[in-house]
């Protein structure tokens, strides 16, 4: 089982950007934590970060074409505005969980709306890096269930 993890705009600035909101750990720290957690659960990971919407959309399509079935995505600011990203997730066939480090509902009102959430099976918000690990746990558990039911057919 392979899980793709995408982080959107400004998440490459983790550890530097608004540490009172996002903490002091870096994107590299996050990726190492996710990879180790996924490995213990029997899953492999791929990572991608971009500040550019089109590159994120291209990566989703490539991963889907490569046979990746599961996605953890933090769309960053694209969460609130990108119909194109939402459509990319919805059309990819990937089972996706949206994650936000901060609680978007405790922030500015414009952040309360997620355009991309409707293309995902769930949204985890406000639990810091732990949210990514919970998303991995969900995907691993449900991926194994889906694989078992396919084998029975």
Q: Is the Cβ–Cβ distance between 24 and 11 less than 8 Å?
A: no
pTM, 2 dp: 0.90
Of the candidates 22, 37, 78, 132, the residue annotated as catalytic is 22
Answer yes or no: 22 catalytic. yes
- Residue-level pLDDT, tens digit, the chain, 153 residues: 999 999 999 999 999 988 887 888 999 999 999 999 999 999 999 999 999 999 999 999 999 999 999 999 999 987 877 899 999 999 999 999 999 998 887 776 866 689 999 999 999 999 999 999 999 999 999 986 654 444 444
Instruction: Look at the chain and count its residues.
Output: 153
Question: Domains plus CATH for the chain?
Answer: 26-147 (3.40.50.9100)
Q: In whole angstroms, give the CA distance from residue 124 to residue 132.
A: 8
Of the candidates 37, 78, 100, 132, the residue annotated as catalytic is 100
Q: Is the Cβ–Cβ distance between 98 and 75 less than 8 Å?
A: yes
């Amino acid at each position: 089982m392979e899980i793709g993890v995408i982080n959107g705009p400004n998440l490459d600035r983790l550890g530097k950007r608004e540490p009172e909101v996002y903490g002091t750990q870096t994107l590299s720290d996050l990726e190492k934590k996710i990879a180790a957690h996924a490995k213990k659960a029997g899953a492999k990971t791929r990572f991608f970060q971009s500040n550019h919407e089109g590159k994120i959309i291209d990566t989703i399509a490539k991963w889907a074409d490569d046979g990746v079935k599961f996605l953890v995505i933090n769309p960053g600011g694209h969460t609130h505005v990108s119909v194109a990203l939402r459509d990319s997730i919805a059309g990819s066939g990937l089972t996706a969980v949206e994650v936000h480090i901060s609680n978007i509902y405790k922030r500015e009102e414009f952040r309360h709306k997620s355009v991309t959430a409707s293309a995902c099976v769930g949204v985890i918000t406000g639990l810091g890096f732990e949210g990514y690990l919970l998303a991995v746990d969900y995907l691993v558990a449900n991926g194994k269930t889906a694989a078992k039911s396919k084998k029975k057919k």
